[in-house]
């Protein structure tokens, strides 16, 4: 296996660049969605593109290029990527929707009853839309192909 520049492992470097690129793109895209650069987006979950997806898809693509599409490690990586992407659009997105509903319920109770149940709202943007996952996948493939 070729040595990488960042941590000495080429495939790990590809995953790191894909993750970093996805998080940086979230900051840049905040300029269009929020009309300002929101540097908090660099550490946030949710929004476009999915950094979890870009990471696992870049890993899968790099393994496919380096080890071959018939290798057992590629098959393992494909399964891992599918589970992560399913979780991002399914379980984590549903948890975010539930957090939104709970925040509204708590807010109504605070207004009506005048006391605090929780100090801060639950985080609502945990998961991704299918388009955000697709964006992360495209970024992951591109980073891996450029760096391989």
Percent share of the chain, pLDDT over 70: 75
pLDDT band of residue 126 (cuts 50, 70, 90) is low
Average pLDDT, the chain: 84
Per-residue pLDDT at 53: 95
pLDDT over 80 (residue 118): no
What angle is formed at CA 46 by the lines to CA 81 and CA 116, rounded to 5 degrees? 130
- What is the pLDDT at residue 123? 60
25-80: per-residue pLDDT in tens? Answer: 998 988 887 787 877 777 777 778 999 999 999 999 999 999 999 999 999 999 99
Q: What is the pLDDT of residue 95?
A: 66
Q: Can you give the pLDDT at residue 104?
A: 73
Q: Is 22 within 8 Å of 50 (Cβ atoms)?
A: yes
Percent of the chain with pLDDT over 90: 46
pTM for this one?
Answer: 0.76
Cα(142)–Cα(120) distance, rounded to whole angstroms? 39
């Amino acid at each position: 296996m070729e040595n990488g520049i960042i941590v000495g492992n080429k495939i790990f470097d590809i995953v790191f660049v894909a993750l970093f690129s996805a998080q940086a793109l979230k900051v840049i895209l905040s300029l269009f969605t929020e009309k300002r650069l929101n540097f908090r987006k660099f550490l946030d979950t949710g929004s476009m593109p999915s950094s979890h997806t870009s990471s696992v898809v870049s890993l899968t693509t790099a393994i496919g290029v380096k080890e071959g599409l018939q290798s057992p490690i590629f098959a393992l990586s494909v399964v891992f990527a599918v589970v992560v992407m399913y979780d991002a659009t399914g379980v984590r997105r549903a948890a975010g929707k539930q957090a939104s509903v709970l925040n509204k319920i708590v807010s109504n109770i605070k207004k009506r009853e005048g006391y605090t149940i929780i100090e801060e709202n639950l985080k609502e943007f945990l998961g991704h839309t299918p388009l955000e996952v697709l964006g992360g996948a495209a970024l992951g493939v591109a980073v891996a192909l450029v760096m391989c």
